Amino acid sequence: MAVTREGETESSQFTPNTDPSNTKEFSQTLQSFAESEKVQLSVFSQTLQTPVASERRRDWVLNVPEPPGLLSNLKTSFKKTLLCPLENKIQCLGKHPVPTLVSILSVIFPPLSWCKEYNVTKFKRDILAGLTLASLCIPQSIGYATLAKLDPQYGLYTSVIPPLIYAMMGSSRDIAIGPVAVVSLLLSSMIPKLEDPTTNPIAYRKLVLTVTFFAGAFQAAFGLLRLGFLVDFLSHAAIVGFMAGAACVIGLQQLKSLLGISNFTNKTDIISVLTSICKSMHTLNPYSFIIGSSFLIFILSTKYYLARKYKKLFWLAAMAPLLSVIMSTLLVFLTRADKHGVKIVKHITGGLNPSSLHELQFNSPHTAEAAKIGLIIALVALTEAIAVGRSFATMKGYRLDGNKEMLAMGVMNITGSLTSCYVATGSFSRTAVNFSAGCETAVSNIVMAITVLISLEFCTRLLYFTPVAILASIILSALPGLINITEAKYIWKVDKMDFLACAAAFLGVLFVSVEIGLLLAVGISFAKIILNSIQPGTEKLGRLPGSDLFGDMEQYPIATTTPGALIVRVKSALLCFANANFIRGRILNLALEEQNEGVMESANQDRVQLVILDMSNLLNIDTSSIAALEDLQNDLESNGMQLALANPRWHVIHKLRLANFLKKIEGRVFLTIGEAIEACLTSKNMLPI
């Protein structure tokens, strides 16, 4: 006798005996069980198809509770946005004060969440990564400051305070913070329209610091209010085109320093730059060109040949810019090339970051323009930083919190504007070096910042004879990473409209200006959204063979039409004033075409009498769309057809009920398309199926 042990699963009692004599009996048992299940399912299916069940399900649609109103939605949104992240923790503060306080602080300071697992091994890796990062950061920071038309020390200042702030508040463990080429270009192309950096460098610097403050304020506000979606206004395609165009413009502008040209245009478009180069070729300094091009070849060869062929030599590619600065500075000093027309950096102010609180201009006539520029730069900087951070976070398998990133970026730029820094963000090239150097946490940013600070304190005098051409070569070596031809080809292959935004951003930046390029990219992206919203398509649905499912007849050619009925679905989530009349006209024209075809082909037998509007896609409607539906119903009735609705969503059916539209269509509202066909086409005043 079989005994069931305690804890044994019930299914083990029904395990078939492996004895061949019992196999046939067990198979017959399974077959009879399956047949009984089929019978029960068939009975259940028939029950669902009865008029009583169909009427009951229609009541489910009509008798829905009232959806939450506008005020309720605003309260819920506010609660989810600002209160929920800390609400539960605050409630636990009285019961477990110390652990809860640590948990609350870890929300504001993410390093508290991983510092428990930090050890000596990770610290050693972070020190190595930070030192490697500093070797690349120092020459790049000086070069980007000159690109932003600021004194070199401001690039070094920007590589001290912002990385320290980010290391305490940022959620990325890999991103390297500091000045970047694109932001430097934006500053040097937009602010000179307000203040000339050549004739009035002090006013220009004050305006840059003010723009930095506004950029940080906007970024912090985005993070606090959880407005991360604003970054998505710059689509991926637009960013690809903008980055490529900016790289070309930056490269063209660096030809001035690389060639040693004296007179150069302040404009950024390619035509003005090339014209200026052609007119100034007679002032070219061959020594500057030889120094700059030689070290440019050295940097590119280590970066794109040695580092890729020999993975262990990644440190050489990272240190190549610093080695180039050291060797070129020694070369100029020993040969006194500055006496032969080679431009040098000269004096760089050293020491700790000085306070710049008194330099912020909030009462200036340019304050409103500074705020606008700050908003643009805030979005561009956030987009680049979050894209870089997410890429490397995915590689290491952790999650990047976009709102925390925005808050951290905002606080570091606000603090930076008070300590002589201009806008800082995440750098792709330096982050790649940081990742390759084996960084474990944001401590590598702290090591880098301390190293730059030591250099500011003790090493700035050694950079007096650094040639400007070497800074141009360092910037030029970082530009190929901004041009992603493979991604542009992919965008062209997948979505031609996205490629149009990409190309518009690229050509706008290259041939007009940085602002126009951004404006074109955002404008085309918005135009795409507006066109899809104003003129959404409609789908003619048909029944898929052997099922109760209905699909687009163009997508599924095997789908069949239902005689006497036209089933239409709108390709939009919103029916509103902008698209309601367009959709009404499309549906009416389609219904009249189908009716005429039915009359001509089958002598009135399959004439369309019912138009079923599948509303499963529509999330909401407004009063204009309700008026358009009423017009559609009247137009259909005047042509011998009626309108029925299938599967309306919560807010849609609520508004239709308030507008008394359901009475006008005599209650023809159903849960499914199949029920609409069965209920309407089998009624007395319509032809049978």
Mean pLDDT of the chain: 83
Q: What is the pLDDT of residue 7?
A: 40
Q: What is the 3 state secondary structure string of 152-188?
A: HHHHHHCCCHHHHHHHHHCCCCCCEEECCHHHHHHHH
Q: To the nearest whole percent, how much of the chain has pLDDT over 90?
A: 35
pLDDT (tens digit, 9 = 90+) per residue, 384-430? 888 888 878 877 878 787 888 899 999 999 999 999 999 999 988 88
Burial of 586 per CB tally in 10 Å (0-12, 13-18, 19+): middle
pLDDT over threshold 90, residue 149 = yes
What one-character DSSP code corresponds to residue 467?
B
**Integer Cα distance of 544 and 530 in angstroms:** 33
DSSP string, 562-597: PTTEEEEEES-SEE-TTTHHHHHHHHHHHHHHHHHH
- Are 244 and 482 contacting, i.e. CB atoms less than 8 angstroms apart? yes
* Banded model confidence at residue 326, pLDDT cuts 50, 70, 90: very high
> Amino acid letter at 297?
I
**Could you give the C-alpha distances from 416 to 213, 440, 643, in angstroms and in order?**
8, 25, 63
Ranking 25-29, 376-380, 515-519 by mean pLDDT, the lowest is 25-29
- What's CA 34's distance to the chain center, in Å? 51
SS3 content of the chain, % helix, strand, coil (to 5): 65, 5, 25
Q: What is the pLDDT of residue 92?
A: 63
- Are 261 and 284 contacting, i.e. CB atoms less than 8 angstroms apart? yes
User: Average pLDDT, stretch 159-164?
Assistant: 95
> Facing residues of 621 across strands?
575
> Facing residues of 551 across strands?
542
pLDDT over threshold 80, residue 606 = no
Ranking 114-118, 214-218, 436-440 by mean pLDDT, the lowest is 114-118
User: Average pLDDT, stretch 59-88?
Assistant: 66
Q: To the nearest whole percent, how much of the chain has pLDDT over 70?
A: 83
> Amino acid letter at 552?
D
* Banded model confidence at residue 599, pLDDT cuts 50, 70, 90: low
Which backbone phi and psi does 62 adopt, to 5 degrees?
-80, -35
Which backbone phi and psi does 17 adopt, to 5 degrees?
-70, 135
Of residues 215, 190, 208, the one with CA closest to residue 378: 215
DSSP string, 469-534: HHHHHHHHHHSGGG--HHHHHHHHHH-HHHHHHHHHHHHHHHHT-HHHHHHHHHHHHHHHHHHHHH
Q: What is the pLDDT of residue 34?
A: 46
pLDDT over threshold 80, residue 351 = yes
DSSP string, 527-556: HHHHHHHHS--EEEEEEPTTSS-EEETTT-
Assigned token pair, 32: 């009879």
**Integer Cα distance of 689 and 681 in angstroms:** 6
Q: What is the pLDDT of residue 116?
A: 77
Of residues 152, 153, 183, 508, the one with CA closest to residue 373: 183
**Integer Cα distance of 116 and 102 in angstroms:** 12
pLDDT (tens digit, 9 = 90+) per residue, 455-489? 999 888 888 999 999 999 999 998 888 888 999 99
**Integer Cα distance of 49 and 52 in angstroms:** 8
User: Average pLDDT, stretch 9-35?
Assistant: 47
Q: What is the pLDDT of residue 689?
A: 32
Strand, helix or coil for residue 234: coil
Give the chain's domains with CATH numbers.
112-345+357-484 (no CATH), 535-685 (3.30.750.24)
User: Average pLDDT, stretch 443-457?
Assistant: 94
